């Protein structure tokens, strides 16, 4: 007795139909933006990455329709576009939230508490990796190194930095995002939605008043090595954002009063105190001694 493929649970399926096109008004608007992007490059196919950001800004993720549009305007095959869209994790392949909350779980962030943050956020939000909350506000994912190891553990929201996190501050951060309360990154421009971020990544200016000026630069922890290389020998201090306390190079407390950060030392309201490693509460973190001390 033979068994049919359906009885064996095997679906032979049908070839996937071509992706639907954008409505005429949407396509006309996107074509105008696409021409501006393509004009920046001597070879039109070099515009594929920003064009994928452009279509992601339209729907919040890269759809088959968006990939078909990119293929049409660049005279590529949909297979070529799909190969790029599926290679880079910055392009979402399914609907996602207004805020992409990424927890770095690479080596240093992980040992400083990133793994604990990611685990607790999954439980707190009731979602798994790459999943979105029921209200459509937050998509949670673990991400690789963001080149901010001196501020570990780091959480990013729509690619803006939130430094020195703990499970408690990270949970407060996502709660504020879901409630629509103001959230200010440690460094970088003020937050906007993921769609708005995608359009900026496509190469269009951020027209929000003061957003560009607020972008800032490297934080003080990133500049310590540069200052030492220049021969600046002032004692290193560990600044605690909440208490304003500081320590000298040997770890002894110094009574210097509350520290008001300068614009270059901006601290987010969602930054955690930096006095204890989340992975080793019994051993408060102090300044690293120079070699030989």
- Is pLDDT above 90 for 234? no
pTM of the predicted protein model: 0.71
Distance of CA 13 to the CA centre of its chain: 37
Question: DSSP assignment of 92-130, as one string?
Answer: -SS---SEEEEEE-SHHHIIIIIHHHHHHHHHHHT--TT
Q: 165 exposed, middle or buried (CB, 10 Å; 0-12, 13-18, 19+)?
A: buried
Q: What is the pLDDT of residue 10?
A: 60
CATH 3.40.50 fits 22-85, yes or no: no
139-196 pLDDT per residue, tens: 999 998 888 888 999 999 999 999 999 999 999 999 999 999 999 898 878 889 999 9
- The class that CATH gives domain 97-192 is alpha beta
Rounded to the nearest integer, the mean pLDDT of the chain is: 81
Tokens in use for 23? Answer: 């409505």
CB atoms within 10 A of CB 160: 21
Name which of 150, 209, 158, 219 is nearest 183 in CA terms: 158
Q: Element (H or E) spanning 139, and its range?
A: strand 138-143
Q: What is the pLDDT of residue 146?
A: 83
Contact present, 58 and 32 (Cβ < 8 Å):
no
- Is pLDDT above 70 for 239? no
Q: What is the pLDDT of residue 227?
A: 84
86-130 pLDDT per residue, tens: 999 889 999 999 999 999 999 889 999 999 999 999 999 999 999
- Is pLDDT above 80 for 233? no
Q: Where are the domains of the chain?
A: 22-85, 97-192
């Amino acid at each position: 007795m033979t068994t049919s493929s359906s009885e064996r649970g095997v679906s032979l399926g049908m070839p996937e139909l071509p992706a639907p096109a954008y409505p005429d008004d949407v396509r006309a608007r996107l074509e105008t933006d696409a021409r501006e992007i393509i004009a920046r490059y001597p070879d039109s196919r070099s515009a594929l990455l920003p064009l994928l950001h452009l279509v992601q800004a339209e729907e919040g993720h890269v759809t088959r329709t968006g990939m078909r549009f990119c293929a049409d305007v660049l005279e590529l095959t949909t297979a070529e576009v799909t190969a790029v869209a599926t290679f880079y994790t910055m392009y979402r392949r399914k609907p996602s939230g207004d805020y992409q909350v990424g927890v770095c779980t690479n080596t240093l962030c992980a040992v400083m508490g990133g793994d604990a943050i990611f685990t607790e956020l999954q439980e707190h939000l009731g979602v798994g990796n790459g999943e979105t909350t029921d209200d459509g506000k937050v998509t949670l994912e673990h991400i690789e190194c963001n080149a901010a190891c001196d501020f570990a553990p780091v959480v990013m929201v729509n690619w803006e930095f939130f430094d020195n996190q703990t499970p408690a501050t990270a949970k407060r951060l996502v709660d504020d995002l879901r409630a629509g309360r103001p959230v200010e990154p440690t460094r970088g421009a003020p937050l906007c939605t993921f769609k708005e971020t995608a359009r900026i990544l496509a190469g269009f200016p951020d027209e929000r008043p003061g957003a560009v000026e607020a972008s800032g630069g490297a934080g003080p922890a990133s500049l310590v090595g540069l200052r030492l290389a220049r021969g600046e020998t002032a004692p290193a201090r560990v600044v605690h954002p909440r208490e304003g306390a500081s320590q000298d190079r040997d770890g002894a407390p110094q009574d210097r009063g509350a520290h008001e950060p300068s614009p270059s030392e901006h601290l987010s309201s969602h930054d955690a105190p930096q006095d204890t490693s989340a992975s080793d509460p019994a051993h408060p973190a102090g300044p690293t001694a120079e070699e030989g001390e």
